[in-house]
Amino acid sequence: MRLNKLSLRVRIFFAMILLVLIASILIAGVTIYQYNEEAIDYHKERLERKERAIISDINYVIRETTYPVETEKIPLIFKDEIYRIDVIHGLRVILYDLDGTLLKSSKASITKDTVVDCIDVDILNSISNGADHRFVVKNEKNGETFQSSYTYIYDSKSKPLAILNLPYLENDDFLNKELNEFLERLGYAYLFMMLIAIILAFLLSKYITRTLKTISDKINETRLEKRNKRIDISTSSEEISTLVNSYNSMIDELEESAVKLARSEREQAWREMAKQVAHEIKNPLTPMRLSVQSFQRKFDPEDPKIHQKVDEYSKTLIQQIDTMSSIASAFSNFAKMPAQQNETLNVAHIVKLGLDIFSEDYIVFSSEADEIMANFDRTQLIRVVTNLVKNGIQAIPEAKENPRIEVRVTSENDLVNITVEDNGVGISEENKSKIFEPKFTTKSSGMGLGLAMVKNIVETYQGNITFTSQPGEGTIFKVTFPKK
């Protein structure tokens, strides 16, 4: 899952949880590091304390001995005392002469595996050259860490007498136990903190994005053709307030622009409609004028065919008058918005009644059920069906073999579908985008208001009309509207 596909709320939630996890890991790491450092300092200081105490005990033995205080007499001086010192201080004591040769050890049986007979030359040089004549060697064996300190012991005249070696095992069992107990308690605390962090992250992310969600919903609901509500948020951050104010300003400007645009489009539409009506009215007026003028010139009361000619002139005038009447009716029907009627009717029955006015035998009706009930105005439903069927009839050429128009009524959940399919000439690609525009027509007569009126009626009832068409194969119009 890509991060940029996650919502802002999810990003904030995960960011806060990740922050707590990183903080927990860092604190645990620092704790472990601090414990290790303290362990190193502890062993270093403990070895130094042991060394000072043992040296103090050795100096006491040297002061109280009856033997001559010489390097060669060290084994005799500490013949028994070295074991006592070992027991008291809990640390093995090894004494070397100044050349690094073993003199005495507190271990009862001396083997080369446990006690070195001679000190390494580099260690001797480090002891003699050191400021405090002391040197510590650190090594690991069998997974255990050892420190071994080397330092001079002196006689009463501060003359180097021997080299004291104290092997010290770093036993971290106690410290490790303390560390594990601390980490366990810390883990419980982190678990509790994590639960609290999850709850807080959820609530905080919800609080932060709630205002943005409100703004997003309002933006999604923004439409040019309706009045949009301003966003009213009483408490919000400065950034959100700026965004809300910008949106409200945009809504005010949009509403003002929409009013101007609607007025302009309405005026333009009426101008275009007036031009179209005037043009359509002029068409029948011209033959009417010519017929009257011809009648005036050729009128002869003595003509034996005068009655026949009067009938012909009258039929011509009546035909043109009917044309003008149909133009006026089409314009009137389009201009009149259909009023919604809460009439529950059987759509299948009404559609079938609407088809009875057509005499074409190639119109086929089918319905998936005898009764498909919906709320619709009976007259408007018939107008929708008859206009679509009439459009299909006009789309089929007269020379077409096996013409066919299929009208189907189906039900789908809470929707009613009416499809009108013809095998006419179809709709070209360039005309598909203009098919529902008022005054658009590909026919030699008519005002092109039929499909525009159908769309107007269907959308008034919260429905929609769509079509698919293949040039030369036919067109399928589909009307869908809710049952209630």
Q: How distant, in Å, are the alpha carbons of 78, 95, 129, 151 from that of 117?
A: 18, 10, 22, 16
Query: DSSP E strands: which ranges in 248-401?
Result: 344-346, 363-367, 373-375
Average pLDDT (203-225) is 69
Averaged pLDDT score across all residues of the chain: 79
**Of residues 382, 375, 452, 463, the one with CA closest to residue 417:** 463
The CA distance from 424 to 470, in Å, is 9
Residue 281 confidence (pLDDT): 66
CA dist 123 to 25, 99, 129, 133, Å?
42, 11, 10, 11
Q: What is the spatial distance between Cα 34 and Cα 289, in angstroms, rounded to a whole number?
A: 112
Contact 347, 408 (CB under 8 A): no
In this prediction, residue 447 carries a pLDDT of: 39
pLDDT digit string, tens, across residues 131-163: 788 888 888 777 777 888 999 999 888 899 999
Domains of the chain plus CATH, in order, are 3-176 (3.30.450.20), 238-335 (1.10.287), 344-482 (3.30.565.10)
- In angstroms, the CA 97 to CA 118 distance is 9
Task: Look up tokens 């408490």; give the residue.
Answer: 235
**Confidence category of residue 326, pLDDT binned at 50, 70, 90:** low
Share of the chain above pLDDT 90, in %: 12
Residue 437: the pLDDT is 73
pLDDT in tens, 375-394: 888 888 888 898 899 888 98
User: For 139-142, which contacts have Cβ atoms below 8 Å and span 24 or more sequence positions?
Assistant: none
* pLDDT level of residue 335 (50, 70, 90 thresholds): low
pTM score, two decimals? Answer: 0.40
Confidence of residue 445 (pLDDT cuts 50, 70, 90): very low
Q: Is pLDDT of 446 > 50?
A: no
At 114, the pLDDT band (50, 70, 90 cuts) reads low
Of 108, 113, 182, 100, whose CA–CA distance to 141 is shortest? 113
For the cut 50, the answer to whether the pLDDT of residue 228 exceeds it is: yes
Average pLDDT over residues 180-188: 82
Element (H, E) at 103: strand 102-105
CA–CA dist 241, 198 (Å, integer) = 28
**Residue 448 in this model has a pLDDT that exceeds 60:** no
